[in-house]
Amino acid sequence: MILYTVVPNDLVFPTDGSEFSGQMMMDYQGVPLLVQQEENNYRIIRVMSSDPAHYLNDQICPGEFINN
């Protein structure tokens, strides 16, 4: 199916809010992170810092697991 419209995809295909229910903001070692809780650990979704040095840290890249 091809849909030609000027309406943004988010309005045409809304996401379910339950997909984001486990996500939260966390400050880990002074770096603000968006994480998702999975059992006893947290999986990093996004680094929310404006400091470029935080993005070079291998321990806090998206997809890594941390425990709080």
d(CA 9, CA 5): 9
How far CA 28 is from CA of 10, 38, 48, 60, 65, in Å, comes to 31, 16, 11, 9, 12
Predicted local confidence at residue 17, as pLDDT: 75
Q: What is the pLDDT of residues 7-44, one digit of tens each?
A: 998 888 888 877 778 899 999 999 999 999 988 899 99
Question: Cβ distance 33 to 60 under 8 Å?
Answer: yes
For residue 44, the model assigns a pLDDT of 95
List Cβ neighbours of 33 (8 Å cut-off, separation of 6 or more).
Answer: 25, 26, 27, 44, 45, 46, 47, 48, 60
pTM score, whole prediction: 0.73
User: In the predicted model, what is the mean pLDDT of residues 44-66?
Assistant: 93
